[in-house]
Amino acid sequence: MEVFGRKIPMSASLIVWAVLWEIVGQLDLVSLIPPLSNVVMRLAEIVPTETFIDALALTARSFAAGTGIAILAGVPIGVLMGRSEIADRLLLPWVNVFVSAPLTALVPIIMALFGFGETTIILTVVLFALWIIILDARAGTRSISNSLVEMAQSYGASYWQAFSKVYVWAALPEILAGIRLGMVRAIKGVIIGQLIVSVVGFGYLFEIYQSNFLMEHLWALLLVLFALAFLIDGVFGYMEKRVEYYAASR
């Protein structure tokens, strides 16, 4: 948007929203919404506490492990599906079901099988992140131009060479997009897992704040989570931009 001929970046509108939040909070219009300034003060108060740092560390660990597994499993499966008609036909129906299924319903199964600990959270993260990574790696592999595949063949590439030197790289823009979307889903998964298990990490903090009606604490926690999610999304969005230039020239 332009004001007096000067371009104002889009993200600046978030400041407008923050001011609005403060006003609504100060006027005490909705019991749900305390003033932003109070939330920020509460944020400064709880972030250095040990319970918070522990919860953050645990969440980060489950997130990293879960996305790591999802990427290591998802990318090869997706590339395989993109190159092999049989694998594609066998797996695609299931991937399509799970990419849009209410995965929250499956968390109780993981809990029943693996208990109430970190393993359950990690598996929840995998469950949320995996499918979109597979689908995007598959889409990227299928969009590799036929002549690039023939080029690898005609210059005598072995199957492994074609895979590691051509297919993975040619599909990289989509693979990275899939990983970014998978990470966004993984953040949702790690929070949902912790909320359902409710005795570990931020799930435990949410439980405490909620049962004690600590509205400002809850919002402070939400702000942290939103900021982290946005940061991860942004970093990966930037990485994607850097490889975008060759997506068109494949």
User: Mapping DSSP to helix (H, G, I), strand (E, B) and coil, where does residue 16 land?
Assistant: helix
Among 29, 41, 60, 90, indicate the residue that binds another protein (CB under 8 A).
90
Q: Which of residues 2-31 bind another protein (CB under 8 A)?
A: 8, 10-11, 13-14, 16-17, 30-31
Closest CA to 65 of 231, 190, 239, 237: 190
The secondary structure of 23-40 as a DSSP string is HHHHHT--TT---HHHHH
106 makes contact with another protein (CB under 8 A): yes
Beta carbon of residue 108, minimum distance to another protein (angstroms, whole number): 5
Closest CA to 168 of 61, 71, 35, 29: 71
Among 97, 116, 117, 235, indicate the residue that binds another protein (CB under 8 A).
97
Task: Count the site residues for another protein by CB under 8 A.
Answer: 81
Beta carbon of residue 195, minimum distance to another protein (angstroms, whole number): 6
Residue closer to another protein (CB basis): 4 or 213: 213
Beta carbon of residue 204, minimum distance to another protein (angstroms, whole number): 12
Query: What backbone phi and psi angles, to 5 degrees, belong to 7?
Result: -80, 130
Residue closer to another protein (CB basis): 38 or 104: 104
Beta carbon of residue 69, minimum distance to another protein (angstroms, whole number): 19
Q: Which of residues 138-197 bind another protein (CB under 8 A)?
A: 145, 147-148, 150-158, 161, 165-166, 169-170, 172, 184, 187-188, 190-192, 195-196
Residue closer to another protein (CB basis): 80 or 190: 190
Query: What backbone phi and psi angles, to 5 degrees, belong to 48?
Result: -75, -10
Q: Which of residues 37-76 bind another protein (CB under 8 A)?
A: none
CA distance 107 to 91: 22
